[in-house]
C-alpha cells in the first residue's frame, strides 16, 4: 500500500467537538502535574482538525484527525506527543474528547493536554468523519495502515519522530500491529483492553456466534442499546453510567453503523500481531473484569515481548472501558506515569 501525506493546514478551521467549544475550563490535576503543566487558571486548550490522505486500492482515502494541546501564556513545556487509537464500535472523538458540562475529566485528551502533552486522535477508515466509500470491512491491518499515514503526518507537523501510542480494544491491536511494522516511529506503546489469541475470552466466545453475519456484511448497525452494553456486559458497577447517554449521543451523531473487519479478526483471525516482533517499550493494561481477554492470554503475550522495558498492570475495579470507568483517575495516573517514565541510564547492552 502506497501512503502519502496531504497537508491542508492552509484551510484548517476550528472544530467544535459536539456542542462544546474547543477552549475549555481547567482540569483538576495533581500538584506535581500542575507544576509541570503551568497555572491551571491561566491555561486553556485549543483544538484543531487535520486531514491526511491514504492511498489504497487506487483511491485517495481521507482520514480525519483531531489535535488538542495546551495554550498557556506561562509557556508550559510540551511533554510528548500522544496518539489515541479507537476501537471497533465507536469513532475517536466520543471516546477521547467527550464534552460534558461540569465533567472535565470526560475528555481524556483535555486531561493529558493539561499535563503538557500534544494530543491527537483520528478516525480509522469507515468511522466517524473519515471516508466510508470503499467497499471494505476496515479490518485491523487496515487500521494499522491508517495509523502509518497519520503518524507520518503528525511527525511532519510537529517534528516529533517518535510518538506515544495508546490503543484500546481493537485500537490496541491496531497500535500493536503498527508498532510491529514501524518501531522507529514509536517511543512508548500502551495497550488497553488488549487481546492476543482470544483463548479464554467470554466476550469473543459470544461474538463468534455471529461470525457468519459479520462476514456477510462490511458494516454492522449500532444503536443506543448496543453502546450501553459496552459499559455493562462484563461486571455491574464498574462503569460510570451517568455519562452513557451523552457518550451515545456523540457516537450516534457520527455513525449508525461501523465496519465489521475488527470483529471478524478478533473472532476468527487471532493472533494478528507477534510479541517477539514488537521491539518498543510496551505497557499492557488489563481491567480486572475485562471479558475481552483472559489474564493468562495477556500474561503469555507479555512474557514474549522482546523489549525488557515492559510492564503489565491489572487495573482494579475496571472492566473493558477503562477511561469511562468509575476508576478513571487510576487509569489516567497509570498511563501518565508510564508516558513520563525516564529512559533507563543503563541497559546492560
The segments of the chain whose pLDDT lies below 50 read 1-42, 73, 75
Question: Taking Cα atoms as reference points, which of 56, 77, 44 lies closest to residue 144?
Answer: 56
Cis peptide before 53 (omega within 30 of 0): no
Residue 237: CATH number of its domain:
3.40.50.1820
List beta partners, residue 315: 287
Length of the chain: 349
- For 183, other C-beta atoms within 10 Å of its C-beta total 16
Quote the pLDDT of residue 74. 55
Q: Which residues contact 26 (CB under 8 A, 6 or more apart)?
A: 40, 41, 43, 104, 114
Quote the pLDDT of residue 35. 38
What does the DSSP assignment read for 41-82?
A: GG-EEEEEEEEEEEEETTEEEEEEEEEEEEE-TT-PPP--EE
Asked if residue 203 lies in contact with residue 228, where contact means CB atoms within 8 angstroms, the answer is no
Asked if residue 48 lies in contact with residue 67, where contact means CB atoms within 8 angstroms, the answer is yes
346 located within any domain: no
301 located within any domain: yes
Grid coordinates in use for 254?
457520527
List beta partners, residue 188: 164
Quote the pLDDT of residue 297. 98
Asked if residue 93 lies in contact with residue 109, where contact means CB atoms within 8 angstroms, the answer is no
Distance CA 18, CA 100 (A): 9
Instruction: Report how far Cα 44 is from the mean position of its chain's Cα atoms.
Output: 23
For residue 152, the number of C-alpha atoms closer than 13 Å in the C-beta half-sphere is 17
Tell me the per-residue pLDDT of 119-141, one tens digit each, with 9 for 90 and over.
999 999 999 999 999 999 999 99
Q: Which domain holds residue 117?
A: 9-339
Quote the pLDDT of residue 78. 78
What does the DSSP assignment read for 245-276?
A: HHHHHHHHTT-SEEESHHHHHHHHS---S-GG
Quote the pLDDT of residue 62. 98
Instruction: Report how far Cα 223 is from the mean position of its chain's Cα atoms.
Output: 21
Quote the pLDDT of residue 13. 37
347 located within any domain: no
Q: Which residues contact 271 (CB under 8 A, 6 or more apart)?
A: 196, 197
2 located within any domain: no
Tell me the per-residue pLDDT of 40-96, one tens digit each, with 9 for 90 and over.
444 799 999 999 999 998 999 999 999 999 986 454 557 999 999 999 999 999 999
Question: Taking Cα atoms as reference points, which of 189, 162, 194 lies closest to residue 306?
Answer: 189
Place of cell 497555572: 39
Quote the pLDDT of residue 273. 98
Quote the pLDDT of residue 71. 82
CA torsion through residues 28, 32, 35, 38, sign? negative
Domain count, the chain: 1
Grid coordinates in use for 232?
455493562
1 located within any domain: no
List beta partners, residue 122: 65
Amino acid at each position: 500500500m502506497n501512503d502519502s501525506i496531504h497537508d491542508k493546514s492552509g484551510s484548517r478551521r476550528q472544530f467544535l467537538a459536539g456542542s462544546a467549544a474547543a477552549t475549555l475550563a481547567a482540569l483538576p490535576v495533581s500538584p506535581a502535574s500542575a507544576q509541570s503543566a503551568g497555572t491551571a487558571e491561566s491555561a486553556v486548550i485549543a483544538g484543531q482538525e487535520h486531514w491526511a490522505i491514504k492511498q489504497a486500492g487506487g483511491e485517495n482515502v481521507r482520514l480525519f484527525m483531531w489535535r488538542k494541546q495546551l495554550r498557556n501564556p506561562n509557556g508550559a513545556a510540551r511533554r510528548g506527543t500522544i496518539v489515541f487509537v479507537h476501537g471497533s464500535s465507536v469513532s475517536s472523538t466520543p471516546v477521547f474528547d467527550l464534552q460534558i458540562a461540569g465533567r472535565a475529566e470526560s475528555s481524556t485528551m483535555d486531561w493529558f493536554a493539561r499535563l503538557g502533552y500534544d494530543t491527537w486522535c483520528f478516525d480509522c477508515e469507515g468511522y466517524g468523519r473519515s471516508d466510508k466509500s470503499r467497499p471494505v470491512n476496515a479490518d485491523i491491518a487496515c487500521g494499522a495502515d491508517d495509523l502509518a499515514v497519520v503518524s507520518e503526518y503528525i511527525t511532519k507537523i510537529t517534528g516529533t519522530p517518535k510518538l506515544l501510542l495508546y490503543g484500546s480494544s481493537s485500537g490496541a491491536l491496531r497500535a500493536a500491529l503498527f508498532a510491529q511494522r514501524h518501531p522507529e516511529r514509536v517511543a512508548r506503546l500502551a495497550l488497553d483492553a488488549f487481546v492476543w489469541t482470544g483463548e479464554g475470552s467470554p466476550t469473543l466466545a459470544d461474538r463468534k456466534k455471529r461470525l457468519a453475519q459479520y462476514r456477510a456484511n462490511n458494516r454492522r448497525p449500532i444503536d443506543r442499546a448496543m453502546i450501553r452494553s459496552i459499559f455493562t456486559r462484563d461486571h455491574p458497577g464498574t462503569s460510570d453510567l451517568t455519562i452513557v447517554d451523552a457518550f451515545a449521543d456523540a457516537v450516534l451523531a457520527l455513525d449508525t453503523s461501523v465496519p465489521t473487519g475488527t470483529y471478524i479478526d478478533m473472532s476468527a483471525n487471532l493472533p494478528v500481531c507477534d510479541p517477539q516482533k514488537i521491539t518498543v517499550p510496551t505497557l499492557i493494561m488489563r481491567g480486572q473484569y475485562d471479558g475481552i481477554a483472559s489474564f493468562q492470554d495477556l500474561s503469555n503475550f507479555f512474557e514474549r515481548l522482546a523489549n525488557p522495558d515492559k510492564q503489565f498492570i491489572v487495573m482494579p475495579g475496571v472492566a473493558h472501558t477503562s477511561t469511562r470507568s468509575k476508576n478513571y483517575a487510576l487509569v489516567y495516573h497509570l498511563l501518565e506515569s508510564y508516558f513520563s517514565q525516564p529512559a533507563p541510564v543503563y541497559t546492560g547492552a
